[in-house]
Amino acid sequence: MLLCYSQLMVDYYRNTRKQKPQRIIMFRENIPWDNLRRVSCKEVRALQRACVDIEPGGNYRPGITYIVAQKSHNTRFFWEEKEGEGEVSNVPPGTVVDTHITHHKYREFYLTSHPPNEASTSRPTHYQVMYDDNNLTMDQLETLTHAMCHLDARFPHSVSMPMPSTYARLAAER
């Protein structure tokens, strides 16, 4: 993995006429819950080493934010249409839940970024901020994440996962 990150950073550096990113925000998906801490720590360290290795002297240390996105959960949100009548519907796209049901010690949120399929229930994506030395606020992270869900060139509407994560998965499958 270190080789992969190092090579990607060197390629980026060369292809952008020796420009280096000031901040790196990495979306990662589908890490098993029991390996979440171990995998995220290993990947963040590999990314940090890749940044240090980009040029002689090793003084390049951009801010890194590492966010894990999970779809494999059973959490659903519903909008109560009329009080007392019991009618419920899906929450509108763009709905963020970051209090009450999230853990008080961790920086996490649920985002329903996409419209539901016909006659189905929308499934929010659970995001957990595993590392952040960019010191982004939760509002900044939520807004950025929602904006990234609108960048899929294949669909005219928002999708459930941020595009960097989706495109990385599609490239890996090929």
pLDDT tens for 74-102 read 776 667 665 656 566 777 777 777 877 76
Contact 97, 142 (CB under 8 A): no
CATH of the domain at 19: 3.30.420.10
Domain span including residue 88: 2-173
How far is 9 from 12, CA to CA, in rounded Å? 5
What does each C-alpha distance from 107 to 18, 58, 69, 96 come to in angstroms?
34, 30, 12, 13
What are phi and psi for residue 143, nearest 5 degrees?
A: -65, -45
pLDDT at 7 over 90: no
Alpha helices (runs of H) in 16-137, residue ranges in sequence order = 36-52
Task: For residue 56, give the 3-state DSSP assignment.
Answer: coil
- For the stretch 43-52, pLDDT in tens is 999 999 888 8
pTM of the model: 0.83
Alpha helices (runs of H) in 29-132, residue ranges in sequence order = 36-52
Total domains in the chain come to 1
